[in-house]
Every structure is written in C-alpha cells, then in structure tokens.
C-alpha cells in the first residue's frame, strides 16, 4: 500500500514516514523544498497550493496523510496562514477524491479551541477538553484548522471516503525531554497555559496518524491527540484552580492528568499514548 505524506520533511513528517516504513508501508514523501537525505527514493517536490501538482503526486496513492502547511502564525501574515492551510487542504482532499484514495488523515490542532493564538480568548466550558467542546478561534491559524475540518466534512459528503482530522497537541521529539530548556518548561505554569500544558510525543503522533488511515471511519471524524499527562510538575487540579477557577470538571483530577481528552481516539482508532516525558 502506497501512502502519500505531505509535509514529509518536517519534524512530524519525518516521524510519520519512519513509522510507516517500520510497519511495512510504501511511502511517497511530498515536500515543499525537497529532501536530500530522505530514507526513501520516492520524493515529490511541490507547493500544496498548486492543485495540478498535488493531483499528480497523489494519483497513485492508496492513503494520504496531510501534514503540509503553516505550522505557526508567528511571523507569518494572517492571509498567508489562512490561504496556505485551507487551500492546501482543499487541494489534497479534492485530489484524493478524484484519485480514488480511500483514507486520509489531516493534521488539525488543539488551537481550534481558540486559546493558543487567539486575541480574545473564549470561555472554557469544561475540562478536560474533548471533540464536543465549542471551537472559537479568532486568529488565522486556529481558524484555518477549523476550516480544514469543515472542508473535510464537505469532501466526505462529495466523495464518501474516510477522513480523520487529528487535533494534535504540541508535538515533542523525545530527545528534547532531557534538555535544560524543557526542564524549565515543566516548572513554569504561566508559560504553558495557552494550550492547557498539553503535549504529545512524536512517536505517539506518528502512530496515531498511521492508525487513522488504517481505520475505515465511514465518513469524517475529529480526534483529540494528546499525552495522558501534562508537561508540568504541578498537579492538574492545582493548575485548574489557579487558571480556570470554577470550570466544570468532568473527571476527578488526582495527579497530572491531561486537560485534553483523547479517549475517543482510543475507542475508535485503538490509539493510546504510550510515551511520557516522565518516563
């Protein structure tokens, strides 16, 4: 089975490609700027905003994992963030449908909740956050991810394929866990509440995307993808009382439980985060 991976050269993309190869898949790496030291020969260079190039690259693929796009709005004009992420996703979904691709996984984000880059943060209704919580970003990045999910819904209606929108948290390479910089982050509550102190190990991220294309969802589904724990040494209940006083707690927080709920991914995809920075 041939899996096309857009954004294959990026940090997440490299992890995804490695996981796919280790699990017996053939991979076409689709990148914006080439990949000289790629572990495969099938590397296709293109701009995801160029529909013709996207369709040509995807045409032989059986499954697609779409990671390409602007990964942060910092230092990037808002219109460029929105255009690249939304148009790129539309092109990938349209080309996949016309090429007969049966399963697609998209890189969405927990920024859809409207807290990370948003200028005027909305009220958090309950914790832990799950796929049913309202999404209200007012920034270009979070909005682009909401629109990507809505585009997936429309394309499923059109083509009837399987699409998983993976709301990944902050993806961390395990090599960073023992750095001084990361250690400082684990001790600084003020420095991480913008995404509820959540994260996801790169290895778990890659496995999650693979599980998503292996499952026939019968339509479009959104999945929250985060580690079981926060990236802080402070207990979760203490963080909630300090930063989100009075919020509805839908589970009992007794330790360092994540404030993002990935149980739907466990139920539907069989995805359980295996790695923690505490290991």
Q: What is the pLDDT of residues 87-126, one digit of tens each?
A: 999 999 999 999 999 999 999 999 999 999 999 999 999 9
Residue 23 pLDDT level (bands cut at 50, 70, 90): very high
CATH code of the domain covering residue 33: 3.40.50.720
Distance CA(245)–CA(242), nearest Å, equals 6
Residue 108: C-alpha distances to residues 124, 206, 252 (Å) = 19, 14, 28
Residue 106's closest CA among 50, 48, 46, 56?
48
194 located within any domain? no
Mean pLDDT of the chain, nearest integer: 97
13 located within any domain? yes
pLDDT at 219 over 90: yes
| CB within 8 Å of 143: residues ≥ 6 apart | 82, 137
Average pLDDT (56-85) is: 97
Residue 10: C-alpha distances to residues 89, 204, 234 (Å) = 17, 16, 31
Residue 227's closest CA among 208, 214, 213, 210?
208
244 located within any domain? no
Residue 180 pLDDT level (bands cut at 50, 70, 90): very high
182 located within any domain? no
pLDDT at 192 over 90: no
What pLDDT is stored for residue 166 in this prediction? 98
β strands within the chain, DSSP E: 2-6, 26-31, 43-45, 63-66, 103-109, 126-127, 162-168, 171-172, 200-201, 220-225, 248-249
C-beta of residue 141 within 8 angstroms of C-beta of residue 108? no
210 located within any domain? yes
Residue 191 pLDDT level (bands cut at 50, 70, 90): confident
What pLDDT is stored for residue 202 in this prediction? 98
Percent of the chain whose pLDDT exceeds 90: 97
| CB within 8 Å of 114: residues ≥ 6 apart | 121, 122, 135, 136, 137, 138, 139, 142
166 located within any domain? yes
Domain that holds residue 36: 2-174+200-229+259-269
The number of domains in the chain is: 1
240 located within any domain? no
17 located within any domain? yes
Q: Indicate the pTM of the whole model.
A: 0.97
Backbone region of residue 165 per phi and psi (left: phi > 0; alpha: psi in -120 to 50; beta: other values): beta
Residue 130's closest CA among 271, 264, 267, 277?
264
């Amino acid at each position: 089975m041939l899996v096309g991976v857009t954004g294959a050269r990026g940090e997440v993309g490299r992890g995804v490609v490695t996981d796919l190869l280790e699990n017996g898949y053939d991979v076409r790496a689709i990148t914006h700027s080439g990949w000289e030291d790629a572990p495969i020969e099938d590397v296709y260079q293109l701009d995801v905003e160029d529909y013709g190039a996207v369709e040509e690259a995807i045409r032989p693929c059986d499954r697609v994992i779409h990671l390409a796009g602007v990964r942060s709005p910092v230092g990037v004009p808002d219109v460029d963030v929105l255009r690249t992420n939304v148009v790129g996703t539309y092109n990938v979904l349209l080309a996949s449908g016309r090429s007969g691709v049966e399963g697609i996984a998209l890189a969405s984000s927990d920024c859809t909740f409207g807290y990370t880059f948003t200028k005027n943060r909305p009220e958090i209704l309950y914790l832990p956050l799950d796929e049913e919580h309202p999404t209200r970003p007012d920034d270009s990045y979070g909005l682009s991810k909401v629109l990507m999910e809505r585009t997936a819904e429309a394309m499923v209606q059109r083509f009837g394929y399987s699409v998983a929108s993976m709301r990944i948290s902050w993806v961390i390479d395990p090599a960073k866990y023992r750095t001084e910089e990361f250690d400082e982050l684990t001790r600084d509550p003020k420095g991480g509440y913008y995404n509820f102190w959540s994260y996801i190990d790169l290895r778990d991220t890659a496995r999650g995307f693979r599980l998503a294309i292996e499952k026939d969802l019968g339509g479009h589904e959104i999945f929250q993808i985060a580690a079981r724990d926060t990236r802080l040494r402070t207990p979760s209940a203490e963080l909630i009382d300090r930063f989100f006083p009075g919020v509805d707690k839908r589970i009992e927080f007794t330790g360092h439980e994540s404030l993002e709920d990935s149980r739907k991914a466990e139920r539907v995809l069989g995805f359980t985060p295996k790695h923690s920075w505490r290991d």
